[in-house]
Amino acid sequence: MKALVTGGAGFLGRHLVDQLLDSDNDVRILTRGDYPELADRVGIVRGDVRDKEIVQSACAGVDVVFHVAAVPGIWGPWKTFHGINTQGTLNIIEACQLHGVPKLVYTSSPSVVFDGKSHVNADESLPYPSKYLCHYPHSKALAEAAVLEANSDSLATVSLRPHLIWGPRDNHLIPRLIRRAIAGRLVRVGDGTNLVSCAYVENVAAAHRQACDELSPGTRVAGKAYFINEPDPVNLWEWVDQLLDLGGLPPVKRSISARLASSVGTGFEAVYRVLGKKAEPPMTRFLAAQLSQSHTYSIENARRDFGYQPLVTFEEGMARLAPEIKAIADQES
């Protein structure tokens, strides 16, 4: 199989590339950076998903596109999020149609259906909300809707929604958590009882391959979205304390109520907009809700339709991550 992985040098993308290579697939990546360590293993197309010509060149002659590239975050201009996450995805769809690529596997997010409320064992019947608390989920929802609408007899599409991806080589969640803890800026939001579904990165990569294997025009996978995470949720703040402990750091001791955090987030958002600040506020309404509410998702549809089953247990994942957390903590201390 000839596969294109957009964002193939990123956190999830790199794990997906490794698994595809382990299965003797021919892999090409679309990335903005220069990664010489990958040059002898994959084909590299350097460029931005907002560039139609680059995207069309990258998609030529492949059997499947895994569209993983995205800009994450809870703050920033709509132009950036829409340009990369939405328009970039539209460029991918157009390129797939132009070159007759038969399969498109899109990496989405459960935040596309986040309506400001807790979700408990929610399934894919959740609708898109009428409004969003930040640009990231809004831009991803528009992209996902376009991907699913593009499903046809010539292009089979599927969208996967991994929740809270974690694991080795994380360059976002874990380093940020450790830095905040060391700086004394880590505060529990809410009463500390909220449960969340999390998704170990190698399991998420495997889900992409499993969905691809079952994807073809007319199958029950085509044109659908699926939540991807571990079978059992974790208590968010107990898990945070476990991660900190792996780095030799004390547990979170300070706390703030969910209501106060939301009010503080509203204030920060207003001030940052007036001042035109590009840096991410310490708190936003979206972040307050994510840190204080329960968000758990059912994987039964993914299990039924393409046999999704996590390959790595939560305990094994934590063991694999431990050395990295310790190294990050030592470096930041």
DSSP bridge partners of 159:
106, 225
Q: Determine the distance from the C-alpha atom of residue 202 to the mean position of all C-alpha atoms in its chain, rounded to a whole number.
A: 13
Q: Residue 106 corresponds to which amino acid?
A: Y
- Residue 274 to residues 62, 131, 269, Cα–Cα distance (Å): 46, 22, 9
Q: Name the average pLDDT for the chain.
A: 96
Closest-CA residue to 59 (of 100, 95, 9): 95
So where are the chain's domains? 2-166+198-230+297-310
Q: Which among 158, 139, 150 has a CA at the least distance from the CA of 308?
A: 158
Q: Domain 2-166+198-230+297-310 has what CATH class?
A: alpha beta
Q: What is the pLDDT of residue 171?
A: 87
**How much is the average pLDDT of 3-11?**
97
297 is catalytic: no
User: Could you tell me which of 301, 293, 174 has the C-alpha nearest to residue 228?
Assistant: 301
Positive or negative, the Cα torsion across 149, 84, 168, 198?
A: negative
pLDDT in tens, 13-41: 999 999 999 999 999 999 998 888 898 99
Q: Give the pLDDT band (50/70/90) at residue 332.
A: confident
Span 67-87, average pLDDT: 97
pLDDT exceeds cutoff 90 at 257: yes
CA distance 73 to 79: 13
Identify the active-site residue in 132, 136, 297, 308: 136
Q: Could you report the per-residue pLDDT of 137-166, keeping only the tens digit for each?
A: 999 999 999 999 999 999 999 999 999 999
Q: String of b and e for 149-162 (b: at least 16 CB within 10 Å)?
A: ebbeeebbbbbbbb
CA-nearest of 304, 198, 310 to 243 is 198
Model pLDDT for residues 214-251, shown as the tens digit of each residue: 999 999 999 999 999 999 999 999 999 999 999 999 99
Element (H, E) at 240: helix 236-246
pLDDT at position 110, please?
98
pTM tops 0.75, yes or no: yes
